[in-house]
């Protein structure tokens, strides 16, 4: 979000909750609410799942199903790919139309990416 790179939100949304919306317990944390925040892809909204159940019942069932159904995947080894992943991020940021330059956000210096993102942050 802070880098100006366009995202549509998550492709999948599964929610397990024991808070029911009719009693006010869900406090707006529904898939459609998450869509308005950009957390869920609007095209995927009809496929979202909300299961009203206690997590101590649902989680063991879901975990057993996932472990039995899905085979082991090869490890991604993201740390080994960090240089190319950082370059991809810098390239995507440079393509986005923002008032800052990629060196301002990802360049040298200390502090956080947010602190370095402001041209007059004094770095």
pTM assigned to the model: 0.45
Residue-wise pLDDT for 22-57, tens only, equals 777 766 577 777 777 777 777 877 788 888 888 899
Q: Are residues 61 and 91 in the same domain?
A: no
Residue 121 lies in a domain: no
Q: Are residues 60 and 99 in the same domain?
A: no
Mean pLDDT, the chain, whole residue set: 74
| Cα–Cα distance measured from residue 85 to residue 79, given in angstroms and rounded to the nearest whole number | 9
Residue 123 lies in a domain: no
What range does the domain containing 61 cover?
A: 14-69
Task: Please tell me the total count of domains within the chain.
Answer: 2
Question: 53-88 in b/e burial notation, b at 16+ Cβ within 10 A?
Answer: eeeeebeeeeeeeeeeeeeeeeeeeeeeeeeeeeee
Which residues are catalytically annotated?
A: 39
pLDDT of residue 65: 92
């Amino acid at each position: 979000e802070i880098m100006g790179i366009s995202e549509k939100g998550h492709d999948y949304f599964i929610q397990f909750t024991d808070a029911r919306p009719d009693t006010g317990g869900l406090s707006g944390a529904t898939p459609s609410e998450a869509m308005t925040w950009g957390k869920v892809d609007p095209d995927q909204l009809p496929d979202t799942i909300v299961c009203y159940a206690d997590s101590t019942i649902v989680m063991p069932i879901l975990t057993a199903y996932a472990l039995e159904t899905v085979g082991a995947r090869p490890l991604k080894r993201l740390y080994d790919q960090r240089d190319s992943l950082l370059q991809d991020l810098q390239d995507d940021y440079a393509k986005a139309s923002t008032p800052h330059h990629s060196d301002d956000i990802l360049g040298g210096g200390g502090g956080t990416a947010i602190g370095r993102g402001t041209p007059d942050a004094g770095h």
